[in-house]
Amino acid sequence: MFKMFKMSLVLASALLLVAPADSRGDSRLRTLNPGVLQVCLYPGFAPFTSKDGKGEWTGWDVSYLDHFAASERLRFQPVEVTRFDGIWTLPAGDVCDVAAAGISDTQDRRAESGARAAWSQHYYRVLRAFLVRSQDAHGLNSIADLRDRTVIVTGNATADSDIQHRLARAGITTTTILTTFNEVDAAREVLDGQSFAYAGGLGSVQHLAAQLGGLAVTWPHCNMLADGSEVDEPFSFVVRSASTGVIAALDRFISDPATPYPGKSAFDPGCSEGSL
């Protein structure tokens, strides 16, 4: 995915050589390590953040932030995080300047990150969906179809809370929910028939279905909150507040039509706008 922006980076570098002192990349950007943008990444959410067969970071979030760093004359430095749960709190703890891994922007997560972190403008929108074996593609269209089934989720990801809220509202208590830290392993368990489904973001399950074969994507839907409302689900980057100037520069980058995000959002007009 780093190759995605290769030509753009060359152009950006050329422009920066002649940029005036008050343009992007000036001394007002202060990061943990001068001249470096340290980014916390979780490797389990392809196509947003993952590693290839050579151990190189790849994904839409990775290439996008690498491009952003280059536009600000910063060196992109990944900081690997082994668990997704709580990655949004790490910038506030001075572990990195930015956290990125397809992080849904929710009230609870904003509260957990606290005043020492800022959440960027939204750069992507996602729907919830399930991954099942191809022969089960027509057998999962509502939460009722998960009675007496086993479903895998990434712990404390939005897929986890969405399914928990739906089961509770429907009064279903016979569904077994397993957690994973590796989406590919979870998808293989579904493919092997050990579990009925893997719940994730639409972009992620589509990627897994194409990667492994024999799997189908089913029931794209809005994210359900505890009160039963079904809401739009936007992604944000989480930025260390003490990394002066980074959040403002990143918001400009996100809003600039000349630097579009590489992935296509999934949006359902039936999803209401969640309050933050």
The answer on 200 and 144 residing in a single domain is yes
- CATH number of the domain at 188, please: 3.40.190.10
Cβ–Cβ < 8 Å for 113, 89: yes
Pairwise CA distance, residues 198 & 164, whole Å: 14
pLDDT in tens, 79-96: 999 999 999 999 999 999
Length of the chain: 276
Number of domains, the chain: 2
Token pair 């003490």 is found at 242
For residue 54, how many other CB atoms are within 10 A of its CB?
6
User: How confident is the model over 133-167, as pLDDT tens digits?
Assistant: 999 999 999 999 999 999 999 988 999 999 999 99
Contact 215, 190 (CB under 8 A): yes
pTM of the model: 0.85
Say how far apart CA 230 and CA 227 lie, in whole Å: 9
H or E element that contains 230: strand 230-231
Tokens 């009160």 — which residue?
A: 227
Name the nearest CA neighbour of 90 among 76, 73, 78: 78
DSSP string, 40-73: EE-TEETTTEEE-TTS-EESHHHHHHHHHHHHTT
The predicted structure's pLDDT at residue 224: 96
Calculate the average pLDDT of the chain.
90
217 and 133 inside one domain: yes
109/45 same-domain check:
yes
- Answer yes or no: do 109 and 238 share one domain: yes
* Per-residue pLDDT, 139: 96
163 belongs to a structural domain: yes
- 46 and 85, same domain (yes or no): yes
| 207 and 77 share one domain | no
User: What's the CA gap between 65 and 77, in Å, rounded?
Assistant: 10
